[in-house]
Amino acid sequence: MRIRGIDFREVLLEREEEFVIATGTSKSALNFVARIETEDFCGLGSCCPSSVTGETSDSIRKDLQTLSGKLIGEDPTQIQKLNEKMASSHPESKCARACLDMALWDLVGKASGRPLYDILGGSRDRMMTDMSLGIMDFDKTLETAKRIVSRGFKAIKMKVGLDIDEDIARLLAVREEVPGDITLSADANQGYSYETAVEFVKRTKDLGLAYLEQPVAQHDHVSLMKLDELSMVPIMVDESFKTSQEAASILAGRTARLLNIKLLKCGGITESLVIESICAAFNGGTLVGCYSESALSIAAGLHFALSGSTIEFLDLDSHFTFPNDFAKDALGFESGLLIVSGRPGLGVEVDFDSLD
């Protein structure tokens, strides 16, 4: 089996409402879709730009072209070798590489007739995801939290990090408003100083937060470690790592106990499997998260998550916010659980030729 062609499409996905976090506001996201073809099969992958990896629409467009040139004529089942080839020339192009890596896995799944989570050794087809609640005013926060619960979600991740008093007021009100079995967590996206983060964990100690994500700046490992020691709530890192080496260093140095793995941030399924193994070796826990992604790459994240032993949480929710998602029917959702389709590979059917 040889790769004989790779084609791309670009689709602008627009959110129903703008999404505000400590580092910025997003209303839409350009998603890139790749189709890798052999004589008998094709595999799909997708990605979007990320300020965390530093990739823009322009850089992704250019990198996808260059990287695909390295894959033409190769055997798509040799995913490890192909990843090494892509990483050696484009180490920083995490999103672009992830797009092609997931298309390779999709193709291999389709060629074997099995869903990807099954090939990766997973034994279940569904897992609970949270829904993120952006930074918004008090009344809108409560209204949105109620709407999230009414849609069936059992977990809410509150975005915080701009103003601690407002953050805590919103968290307390949501805790009061939603049923007690709804899990709450918080993500500050690097928005707090060490002192503010200490105040946050003290003032929220009775809220039963599942974790506090990236409270301080990504490189401030000393503050993260001190916070993790003093906080009852486990500290999760997201922006602090992209590579398996950085993940190992965080866990070995006891900077944090929990890692947020995102396929696009880490360069794809292949590299994320390495990070998940490292996490297992250090007895750490993980969440699988996402950027502003269509249901196609969200499905890839879910298949990956279903295969891992350390994955405690999912934050695979961006596709719920895009009414014009081209891969809308890729995943099921029941009682807070995100469900893969059961079809081979990623199990996502997309009318690729009609995308523009």
Best CA proximity match to 48, nearest among 296, 336, 287: 296
Site for Mg ion in 103-142 (CB under 5 A): none
Does 317 interact with Mg ion (rule: CB under 5 A)?
A: no
Sign of CA dihedral 218, 243, 266, 288: negative
Site for Mg ion in 24-63 (CB under 5 A): none
Choose the stretch contacting Mg ion; rule: CB under 5 A; options: 167-175, 238-246, 324-332, 340-348: 238-246
Closer of 244 and 260 to Mg ion (Cβ): 260
Taking the complex as a whole, the smallest distance from the CB of residue 91 to Mg ion amounts, in Å, to 22
Choose the stretch contacting Mg ion; rule: CB under 5 A; options: 136-144, 181-189, 294-302, 347-355: 181-189
Choose the stretch contacting Mg ion; rule: CB under 5 A; options: 116-124, 127-135, 145-153, 185-193: 185-193
Closer of 285 and 347 to Mg ion (Cβ): 285
SS3 132: strand
Closer of 186 and 300 to Mg ion (Cβ): 186
Closer of 125 and 238 to Mg ion (Cβ): 238
DSSP secondary structure letter of residue 280? H
First to last CA, the chain: 29
Closer of 101 and 238 to Mg ion (Cβ): 238
Among 63, 101, 187, 228, binds Mg ion (CB under 5 A): 187
Closer of 29 and 107 to Mg ion (Cβ): 29
Taking the complex as a whole, the smallest distance from the CB of residue 290 to Mg ion amounts, in Å, to 10
Residue recorded with tokens 């703008």: 18
Choose the stretch contacting Mg ion; rule: CB under 5 A; options: 54-62, 66-74, 184-192, 272-280: 184-192
Taking the complex as a whole, the smallest distance from the CB of residue 315 to Mg ion amounts, in Å, to 8
Closer of 238 and 276 to Mg ion (Cβ): 238
Choose the stretch contacting Mg ion; rule: CB under 5 A; options: 37-45, 123-131, 179-187, 268-276: 179-187
- Could you tell me if 263 and 275 are in contact, meaning their C-beta atoms sit under 8 angstroms apart? no
Between CA 238 and CA 187 the distance in angstroms is 9
Closer of 238 and 312 to Mg ion (Cβ): 238
Binding residues with Mg ion: total (CB under 5 A): 2
∠ CA 177-179-180, nearest 5°, is 110
Closer of 212 and 327 to Mg ion (Cβ): 212
Taking the complex as a whole, the smallest distance from the CB of residue 291 to Mg ion amounts, in Å, to 10
Taking the complex as a whole, the smallest distance from the CB of residue 218 to Mg ion amounts, in Å, to 11
**Amino acid letter at 100?**
L
Between CA 180 and CA 283 the distance in angstroms is 29
Best CA proximity match to 103, nearest among 13, 151, 35, 16: 35
Count of beta carbons in the 10 Å neighbourhood of residue 227: 23
- Left (φ > 0), alpha (ψ -120 to 50) or beta: where does 153 sit? beta
Residues 6+ apart with CB under 8 A from 258: 211, 213, 234, 235, 236, 237, 284, 285, 286, 287, 312
Does 315 interact with Mg ion (rule: CB under 5 A)?
A: no
Taking the complex as a whole, the smallest distance from the CB of residue 214 to Mg ion amounts, in Å, to 5
Q: Which residue is nearest to Mg ion (CB)?
A: 238
Does 238 interact with Mg ion (rule: CB under 5 A)?
A: yes
Residues that bind Mg ion (CB under 5 A): 187, 238
